[in-house]
């Protein structure tokens, strides 16, 4: 799925605004995404199958990225750490786990802020260049929404709605340097969000509903301005039946997915844990069907890294006896290895291909 250049303010920069009732709540939506073909893709071996199998491998990895992570620059902390925008050369793929983390940060900031317990508050503020972002807080029913109306954050335009129901939020912050903190936000979330950039020209629409939990713990540290900031580890867990995406050309779907993403704010590393899995479908002509993806070894991204330096995913389908295993390493020459097995239980691969990141990314 197309990389989207995003400023750090994108989902965290709603300005102040007046309160109000339901009549002040705007609406924003995008055209419904038609699901891609979901018939199982065939995995074959042999000299003529290299392009097909490496393309399947690259697309499945993009599915991992699309649902899981991949950021450049400083992530906005669940606990409200100061963020900076990436430079022009530091692209950021705005992925579902990141959207959820930022949404949870908003929930943490807004829930309980109503002047009367159980009241609904509506706050609308201008975006950096144009458009608006509205936050709707309903403490009584445990609902929280963000509504973006052509919200231009400096070359990145957000449009659509992110809504959570059944929200539960707990915040316990320490009061001294070195004291511990714990934050937890859980809910069922519905996303209908488009993200458009002019340079490079790109669009990404995400639509779906799933459950999430975001938890963060660590210690309070000096923020350098006479105050405290929480620094620790944030874990994002998402699970649901269907999540659709559209990049203006190809349609994607994650089905029956469950992923756990861990952001370490101390080291800057991000990991998608083993055991994470989903069924991935893509409408691209080279795939035009679905595969099952399992993360068997955690996928690890070092701080500021665009590509992982470790991890293994395995790809299977009901149309084939075999499997594709993709291994990522820190090699500076061929960090991606694609092994194709005629039978999933085989000890040795039938075909093995090694690729650079440029070669691998070009396939998706």
Averaged pLDDT, 244-270? 90
Phi, psi at 112, each rounded to 5°: 85, 0
Residue 258 pLDDT: 94
State the average pLDDT for the chain.
83
| pLDDT surpassing 70 at residue 11 | no
Residue 3 pLDDT: 35
Residue 78 pLDDT: 35
- Regarding predicted confidence, which is higher, 14 or 201? 201
Q: Residue 296 falls within a domain, yes or no?
A: yes
Residue 342 pLDDT: 94
| pLDDT surpassing 50 at residue 128 | yes
Residue 310 pLDDT: 97
Q: Residue 209 falls within a domain, yes or no?
A: yes
| pLDDT surpassing 90 at residue 83 | no
CB contact set of 105 (below 8 Å; sequence gap of 6+):
12, 76, 77, 78, 80
Q: Residue 13 falls within a domain, yes or no?
A: no
Residue 118 pLDDT: 63
- Regarding predicted confidence, which is higher, 14 or 112? 112
| pLDDT surpassing 60 at residue 22 | no
Q: Residue 300 falls within a domain, yes or no?
A: yes
Averaged pLDDT, 241-257? 90
- Provide the pLDDT confidence category of residue 294 given band limits of 50, 70 and 90: very high
Residue 362 pLDDT: 85
Residue 287 pLDDT: 85
Residue 363 pLDDT: 85
- Regarding predicted confidence, which is higher, 61 or 212? 212
Q: Residue 16 falls within a domain, yes or no?
A: no
| pLDDT surpassing 90 at residue 32 | yes
116-125, 162-171, 241-250, 344-353: range with lowest mean pLDDT = 116-125
Q: What is the pTM of this model?
A: 0.84
- Regarding predicted confidence, which is higher, 255 or 200? 255
Q: Residue 2 falls within a domain, yes or no?
A: no
139-189: pLDDT as tens digits: 778 899 999 999 998 888 899 999 999 999 998 989 999 999 999 999 999
Q: Residue 14 falls within a domain, yes or no?
A: no
Q: Residue 193 falls within a domain, yes or no?
A: yes
339-348: pLDDT as tens digits: 999 999 999 9
Tally the domains of the chain: 1
Residue 165 pLDDT: 95
- Provide the pLDDT confidence category of residue 111 given band limits of 50, 70 and 90: low
Residue-range definition of the domain harbouring residue 332 = 22-363
């Amino acid at each position: 799925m197309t990389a989207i250049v995003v400023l750090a303010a994108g989902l965290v920069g709603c300005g102040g605004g007046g309160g109000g009732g339901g009549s002040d709540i705007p609406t924003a939506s995008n055209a419904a995404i038609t699901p891609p073909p979901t018939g199982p893709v065939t995995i074959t071996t042999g000299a003529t199958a290299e392009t097909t199998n490496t393309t399947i491998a690259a697309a499945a990895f993009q599915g991992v990225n699309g649902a899981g992570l991949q950021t450049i620059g400083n992530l906005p902390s669940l606990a409200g750490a100061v963020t900076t925008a990436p430079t022009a050369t530091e692209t950021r793929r705005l992925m579902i786990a990141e959207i959820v983390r930022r949404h949870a940060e908003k929930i943490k900031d807004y829930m309980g802020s109503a002047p009367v317990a159980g009241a609904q508050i509506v706050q609308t503020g201008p975006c950096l260049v144009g458009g608006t972002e509205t936050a709707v807080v309903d403490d009584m029913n445990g609902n929280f929404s963000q509504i973006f109306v052509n919200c231009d954050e400096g070359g990145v335009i957000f449009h659509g709605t992110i809504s959570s129901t059944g929200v539960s939020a707990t915040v316990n912050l320490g009061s001294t340097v070195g004291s511990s903190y714990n934050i937890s936000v859980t809910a069922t979330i519905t996303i209908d969000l488009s993200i458009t950039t002019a340079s490079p020209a790109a669009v990404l629409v995400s639509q779906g509903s799933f459950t999430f939990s975001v938890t963060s713990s660590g210690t309070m540290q000096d923020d350098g301005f006479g105050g405290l900031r929480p620094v620790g580890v944030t874990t994002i867990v998402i699970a649901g039946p269907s999540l659709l995406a559209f990049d203006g050309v190809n349609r994607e779907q994650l089905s029956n997915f469950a992923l756990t993403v861990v952001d370490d704010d101390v080291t800057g590393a991000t990991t998608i844990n083993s055991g994470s899995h989903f069924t991935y479908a893509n409408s691209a002509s080279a795939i035009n069907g679905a595969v099952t993806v399992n993360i068997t070894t955690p996928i690890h991204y070092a701080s500021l890294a665009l590509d992982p330096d470790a991890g293994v995913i395995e790809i299977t389908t009901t149309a084939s006896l075999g499997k594709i295993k993709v291994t990522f390493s820190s090699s500076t020459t061929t960090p991606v290895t694609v092994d194709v097995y005629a039978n999933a239980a085989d000890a040795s691969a039938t075909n093995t291909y090694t690729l650079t990141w440029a070669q691998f990314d070009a396939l998706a």
